Amino acid sequence: MVLKTANEDQANFWDGPGGDHWSEHEQVYDGAVANYMADFMQRAAISPTDVVLDIGCGNGATTRAAAQQASQGRVVGIDLSDAMVGNARRHAVEHGLDNVEIVHADVQIADLGREVFDVAISRTGAMFFADPVVAFSNIASALKPTGRMTLLAWQAYEENEWQFALADALAMGRTFPRPEVSKPGPMGLADSDFTRSILAKSGFYAIDIQPIERRFSFGANAQEAFDFMTSLGFTKGALEPLTEQDRQIALEKLRVAISDHEESDGVWFGSAAWLIRATRQ
């Protein structure tokens, strides 16, 4: 079945190599943001009878957390990645969650129904929209009157050591382009003023944006983190044009950077995000 999408580039990535990588390394990816989960779920304030939409549900960790809180309600997770949708469905069955539905679709244009959901959530999954006003308007229309939405989104690149530390280690005198702010990508909602504006235009009010900083994990130990980082598309692309000698130097710099961040309970980098909550008008 062909996925209908509003953003072909993002769909090709997430329903292709990007989503496959997240599916294969789901424990590392979920572990990376695990320190945000308690605050995120508390902010979402899901009640037992709520009907919840999980936007960009990935491998389903947030969907399962929501389903446990909405024990008498139900949760619909939606994601671009067929591989991660498969994981999320399997995990829901493994956890005995019969109030979960996982949908392979693009939330920007998917028919979500009208006034169906009490709550919408997204943990770092709502920064990739081609037209955020169109996408969030679609989400707003699916929320019941006074329904609420909670998002976790990254702050600026400079505030997130987990991003620039990798680039710095592999630079070898080069300057890599930074992810664009307010464009589809990890910095898509990094500008809080921009985020507030697009949510207001999309039919939300009582928009509250709070900063939050937590440690970001790249693995349980230095070797695991090194293996993971060297499997990333960014790392492979950064190494590809280098000579073999420079490639080995860059890899050693990366290994040192990882080792410098290794602690007894894992490899940790600084990170900063926004906790965003808004109510449908």
pLDDT of residue 136: 98
Averaged pLDDT for residues 38-61: 98
pLDDT interval class at 119 (50, 70, 90): very high
The total of other beta-carbon atoms located within 10 Å of residue 263's CB is 10
- The answer to whether the beta carbons of residues 113 and 139 sit under 8 Å apart is no
Distance (Å, whole) CA 149 – CA 252:
43
Distance (Å, whole) CA 80 – CA 103:
9
pLDDT interval class at 149 (50, 70, 90): very high
State the Cα angle at 108 between 78 and 68, rounded to 5°: 25
Averaged pLDDT for residues 197-211: 98
Q: Taking the model in full, what pTM does it have? A: 0.94
Averaged pLDDT for residues 197-205: 98
Distance (Å, whole) CA 123 – CA 40:
8
The domain spans of the chain are 8-158+181-220+266-280
Examine the pLDDT at 85 and tell me if it is beyond 70: yes
> How are beta strands 204-219 and 266-280 bridged, if at all?
antiparallel
pLDDT of residue 3: 58
Averaged pLDDT for residues 118-138: 96
Averaged pLDDT for residues 185-209: 97
10-14, 240-244, 269-273: segment of lowest average pLDDT:
10-14
Beta bridge partners of residue 100, listed in sequence order? 75
How much of the chain exceeds pLDDT 70, in percent? 98
pLDDT tens digits, residue range 1-33?
Answer: 445 666 688 888 988 999 999 999 999 999 999
pLDDT of residue 281: 84
Task: Report the candidate in 81, 184, 170, 166 with the shortest Cα–Cα distance to residue 129.
Answer: 184
pLDDT of residue 2: 45
Q: Torsion angle of alpha carbons 21, 27, 28, 33, nearest 10°? A: 110
- The answer to whether the beta carbons of residues 19 and 82 sit under 8 Å apart is yes
Strand locations in 71-166 (E): 74-79, 100-104, 117-123, 143-154
Distance (Å, whole) CA 123 – CA 63:
10
Averaged pLDDT for residues 120-146: 96
Task: Report the candidate in 158, 116, 160, 164 with the shortest Cα–Cα distance to residue 139.
Answer: 116
What CATH superfamily classification does 8-158+181-220+266-280 receive?
Vaccinia Virus protein VP39 (3.40.50.150)
Please indicate whether residue 262 or residue 2 has the higher confidence score (pLDDT): 262
